[in-house]
Amino acid sequence: MGHVPEPPDVDDSLAPIAYSSSSRKRKMSAVACTAFNGLGLEGKLCDDVIISVDGIEFNAHKTILWSCSPYFRALFSNTCSNAEKMVFTIPGTSPETMRLILEFAYTGTAPVTADNVESLLIAADQFNVMGLVRLCCEFVKSQLCLENCVGIWRFTDYYYCPDLREAAHEFILQHFEEMARVSTEFLELSFNELERMLEKDGVHMKEEAVFEALLKWIAHDLQNRRQHVVFLLSNEGWRDGQKGYFFIK
């Protein structure tokens, strides 16, 4: 996905935004969230576990982490020890990202920004913190723009974010003419990705705009893409939904 730029017309006061989970908030009052945050992240009364990431240690409660993630449930269930405080070394993430995951576990909210959303979403997916995955997806959807929509759509090939994928796809098709003019990521699409992108029943776009975009895509790598010229420019596969792609007016 790369860095997620903010749309040009977004006011500076909107970033960063701390997105929160409404379902979590229903379970936990604001006072309780503050209390848990203090207890967990400051290490007070945390006699359960230590989460260690790259040598940085975080005090935490098993029950809190257990409730927010199947990953932690499996981790704690598969470990037996009589030690007072167990240390769990967690690979594959950074201390700052783990701090945000723990903050979400205790409070149901995390400061999601354009700078941290990609690494945070990947980590939330890795550790199966689905509430945080949803928060990250909500933020990314709010940041969709002409320059990043293709990269975001491609990103969802690797992570299960169906709502985000649908939102990015709809954005691309609704702004196809403008997107094809400014997006460098559009030119990097493979033929199969281009087919999938345009595979949408009932979408109406100007024929000349589609042809112009296809010509630009072909010209970007003519040697390797010339084999697709006949199919793409014959219009047989793209008119009137004959192959279930889209309608052109």
Q: What is the CATH number of the domain that holds 48?
A: 3.30.710.10
Give the tokens for residue 248.
């052109």
* Predicted local distance difference test score (pLDDT) of residue 143: 96
To the nearest 10°, the Cα dihedral for 108, 121, 92, 96? -60
Can you point out the beta strands (E) in 43-185? 49-53, 56-60, 86-89, 109-112
The domain boundary, picked from 143, 165, 200, lies at 143
- CA 133 – CA 93 distance, rounded (Å): 15
One domain for residues 118 and 241: no
**One domain, residues 37 and 93:** yes
Same domain, 64 and 118: yes
Task: Give CA–CA dist 146/181, Å, rounded.
Answer: 9
Q: What pLDDT score does 52 carry?
A: 96
Return mean pLDDT, the chain.
Answer: 79
Q: Final residue of a domain: which of 143, 178, 211?
A: 143
Of the pLDDT bands very low, low, confident and very high (cuts 50, 70, 90), residue 31 is very low
Residues 132, 148, single domain; the answer is no
Asked if 150 and 180 count as a contact pair (C-beta separation under 8 A), the reply is: no
Of 143, 176, 191, which one is at a domain's C-terminal end? 143
Res 144 pLDDT > 80: yes
DSSP three-state, residue 81: coil
Say yes or no: 215 and 104 in one domain: no
Domain that holds residue 158: 144-249
Are residue 132 and residue 243 in the same domain, yes or no? no
Parallel, antiparallel, or unpaired: how do β-strands 247-248 and 56-60 relate?
Answer: unpaired
**pLDDT surpasses 50 at 24:** no
What tokens does 222 get? 């003519």
Sign of CA dihedral 197, 200, 203, 208: positive
Residues 59 and 124 in one domain: yes
Q: Which of 5-9, 60-64, 126-130, 206-210 has the highest mean pLDDT?
A: 126-130
pLDDT, greater one: 230 or 126: 126
From residue 230, how far is each of 226, 233, 234, 236 by CA, in Å? 8, 6, 6, 9
For 128, the token pair is 């199966």
Contact 98, 155 (CB under 8 A): no
> How many domains is the chain partitioned into structurally?
2
- In order, the DSSP letters of 206-241 are -HHHHHHHHHHHHHHTHHHHGGGHHHHHH-TTTSTT
Instruction: Return the CATH number at 232.
Output: 1.25.40.420
pLDDT (average), residues 74-92: 78
- pLDDT value at position 8? 37
